[in-house]
């Protein structure tokens, strides 16, 4: 058996749902067009972010609103725009009746601002607030999400885009941010119960039946022939791996996980994004006025492939007749280059899951482990570090996937360079904070341990994280 998809029988037929969503949403443009907000010397205003239940029209007209959890009343949360090297402050006010925290995914920030309950801060209690404050060193596409009871809190909506603007962004005509979320909805468009299902947790995790962009089942996006668009794509799903195909177009990837890369077309034109991963792409709209082109996701095979959104060309005359002739390369971020000659190497074995030998009955009922140890939940006080790293030294982690499942592995507080897959070197400089490890594959990453503190390393399939695929690395 190839473990491609968990065995879900959705109460809500995704095809039907997406089809009807497509029909009703023809006029509804996907929001979140970005305008660069700040002049070079302008301070970033502090944000107040209440966290509370809300009801929002995820599926659209003709369907009931969905009960969700929201940052500042919206799902996803507001797209926060901050500036590289400028302080940012957010007061998070917990109006839920349970604890919460916010993790600023991918930002290299001080440990106390990392949002891991127990490990880096006490959880924010109901009716209390916490002020997050940091100065992002890197420009790029990041995101924020709950890190407490995260399976349910993220699964009910608590995630949003965090965009760190470049001082000199490349020239494009328009910039969009797509926060992609995946929901398991009932026929009444409500979030289905059953978070933390043990069978699912030991397989692919909670994959839903409804995919939204920026909180709506997207029908179409209208585009103009000849324009150049930058899209910041954020996979904010709990478990859904995506392989995006831009039919009739040639996306150029300019950044992964917020970190600039050599502009390149993805292999076979398929943009692979595991949970928590981001890609910045540039699209030159070369289609005919009036034409339509599907963006599809076929990661789980043809049978489960679906159209995420349609690019619909306006009838207008093209903005220009040749693609814009302007460089796409982003300015580099100030990442310390790993010193491979002096690096210390550690093997990190990813273990467990169905067909993985641990059965469902690992330690304390966990389904997954890292190097034989299962840390479960979202973070706790006093988690012992698996490894202690010397500040300033380079480390190579060999992430060895001994399981039959895919794992997007995320390291907090750092970005790493992806060195190799199954021993085959990756020549281009690809940096990330989350790397998708195929079943039985070994991926080597390297980074300079330059940020002191206790940092989590975990799978970003949240079911896997909370069921044991999590550990702590200490930089002292």
Taking the least distance from each CB to ligand C2O, the nearer of 156 and 410 is 410
Residue in 267, 268, 273, 289 with CA at minimum distance from that of residue 231: 273
Q: Say how far apart CA 459 and CA 464 lie, in whole Å.
A: 6
Closest distance of CB 456 from ligand C2O, Å? 5
Question: Could you say which residues in the range 377-416 bind Cu ion, by CB under 5 A?
Answer: 407
> Could you tell me where the beta strands, DSSP code E, fall in 298-425?
306-313, 344-352, 368-370, 387-389, 394-401, 407-411, 416-421, 424-425
Alpha helices by DSSP H, listed for 337-394, are none
Closest distance of CB 101 from ligand C2O, Å? 10
414 touches, from Cu ion, ligand C2O, none (C-beta below 5 to 8 Å by class):
none
Is 464 a binding residue for Cu ion by CB under 5 A? The answer is: yes
- Look up residue 297 and give its two tokens: 């996701």
Out of 113, 119, 213, 461, the only residue in the binding site for Cu ion (CB under 5 A) is 461
Residue nearest to ligand C2O (CB): 105
Beta strand pairing status for 159-165 and 77-83? parallel
Is 206 a binding residue for Cu ion by CB under 5 A? The answer is: no
Closest distance of CB 388 from ligand C2O, Å? 20
Whether 223 contacts 173, CB under 8 Å:
no
3 state SS of 466: helix
3 state SS of 42: coil
Taking the least distance from each CB to ligand C2O, the nearer of 232 and 410 is 410
Taking the least distance from each CB to ligand C2O, the nearer of 81 and 103 is 103
Ordered DSSP codes for 91-111: EEEE-SSS-B-EEEET----G
Is 459 a binding residue for Cu ion by CB under 5 A? The answer is: yes
Taking the least distance from each CB to Cu ion, the nearer of 68 and 243 is 243
Taking the least distance from each CB to ligand C2O, the nearer of 103 and 184 is 103
Closest distance of CB 240 from Cu ion, Å? 12
Closest distance of CB 425 from ligand C2O, Å? 28
Closest distance of CB 469 from ligand C2O, Å? 11
Closest distance of CB 357 from Cu ion, Å? 16
Q: Say how far apart CA 325 and CA 340 lie, in whole Å.
A: 37
458 touches, from ligand C2O, Cu ion, none (C-beta below 5 to 8 Å by class):
ligand C2O
147 touches, from Cu ion, ligand C2O, none (C-beta below 5 to 8 Å by class):
ligand C2O
Beta strand pairing status for 431-432 and 278-284? unpaired
Residues binding Cu ion: number (CB under 5 A) = 4
Closest distance of CB 390 from ligand C2O, Å? 23
Residue in 92, 90, 109, 88 with CA at minimum distance from that of residue 44: 88
**Which residues of this chain interact with ligand C2O, rule CB under 6 A?**
103, 105, 145, 147, 276, 410, 412, 456, 458, 460
Beta partners for 12? none
Taking the least distance from each CB to ligand C2O, the nearer of 193 and 384 is 384
Whether 387 contacts 346, CB under 8 Å:
yes
Taking the least distance from each CB to ligand C2O, the nearer of 8 and 418 is 418
- Look up residue 140 and give its two tokens: 């790029």
3 state SS of 340: helix
């Amino acid at each position: 058996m190839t473990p491609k998809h968990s065995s879900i029988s959705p109460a809500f037929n995704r095809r039907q749902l997406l089809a009807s969503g497509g029909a009703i949403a023809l006029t509804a443009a996907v929001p979140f067009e970005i305008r660069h907000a700040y002049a070079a010397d302008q301070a970033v205003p502090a944000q107040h972010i209440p966290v509370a239940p809300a009801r929002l029209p995820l599926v659209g007209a003709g369907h009931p609103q969905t009960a969700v959890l929201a940052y500042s009343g919206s799902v996803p949360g507001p797209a926060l725009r901050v500036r590289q090297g400028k302080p940012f402050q957010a007061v998070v006010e917990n109006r839920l009746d349970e604890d919460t925290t916010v993790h600023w995914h991918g930002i290299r920030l001080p440990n106390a601002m990392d949002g891991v309950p127990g490990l880096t801060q006490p959880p924010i209690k109901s009716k209390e607030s916490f002020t997050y404050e940091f100065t992002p060193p890197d420009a790029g596409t990041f995101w924020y999400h709950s890190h407490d009871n995260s399976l349910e809190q993220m699964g009910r909506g608590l995630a949003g885009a965090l965009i760190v603007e470049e001082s000199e962004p490349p020239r494009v005509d328009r910039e969009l941010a797509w926060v992609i979320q995946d929901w398991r909805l009932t026929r009444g468009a409500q979030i289905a119960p059953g978070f933390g299902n043990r069978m699912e947790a030991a397989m692919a995790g909670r994959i839903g039946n409804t995919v939204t962009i920026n909180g709506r089942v997207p029908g179409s996006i209208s585009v103009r022939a000849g324009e150049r668009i930058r899209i910041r794509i954020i996979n904010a799903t709990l478990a859904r791996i995506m392989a995006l195909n831009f039919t009739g177009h040639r996306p150029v990837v300019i950044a992964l996980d917020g970190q600039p890369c050599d502009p390149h077309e993805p292999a076979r034109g398929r943009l692979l994004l595991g949970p928590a991963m981001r890609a910045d792409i540039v699209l030159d709209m070369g289609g005919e006025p009036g034409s339509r082109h599907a963006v599809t996701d076929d990661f789980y095979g043809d049978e489960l492939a679906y159209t995420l959104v349609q690019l619909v060309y306006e009838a207008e005359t093209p903005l220009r007749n040749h693609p814009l002739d302007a460089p796409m390369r982003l300015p580099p971020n100030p990442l310390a280059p790993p010193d491979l000659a002096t690096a210390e190497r550690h093997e990190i074995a990813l273990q467990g899951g169905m067909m993985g030998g641990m059965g469902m009955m690992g330690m304390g009922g966990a389904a997954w482990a890292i190097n034989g140890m299962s840390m479960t939940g979202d973070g706790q006080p006093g988690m012992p570090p698996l490894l202690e790293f010397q500040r300033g030294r380079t480390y190579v982690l060999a992430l060895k996937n001994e399981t039959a499942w895919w794992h997007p592995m995320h390291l907090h507080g750092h970005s790493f360079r992806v060195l190799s897959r199954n021993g085959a070197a990756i020549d281009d400089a690809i940096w990330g904070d989350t790397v998708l490890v195929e079943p039985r594959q070994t991926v080597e990453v390297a980074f300079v341990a330059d940020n002191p503190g206790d940092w989590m390393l975990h799978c970003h399939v949240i079911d896997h994280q909370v069921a044991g695929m999590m550990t702590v690395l200490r930089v002292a």
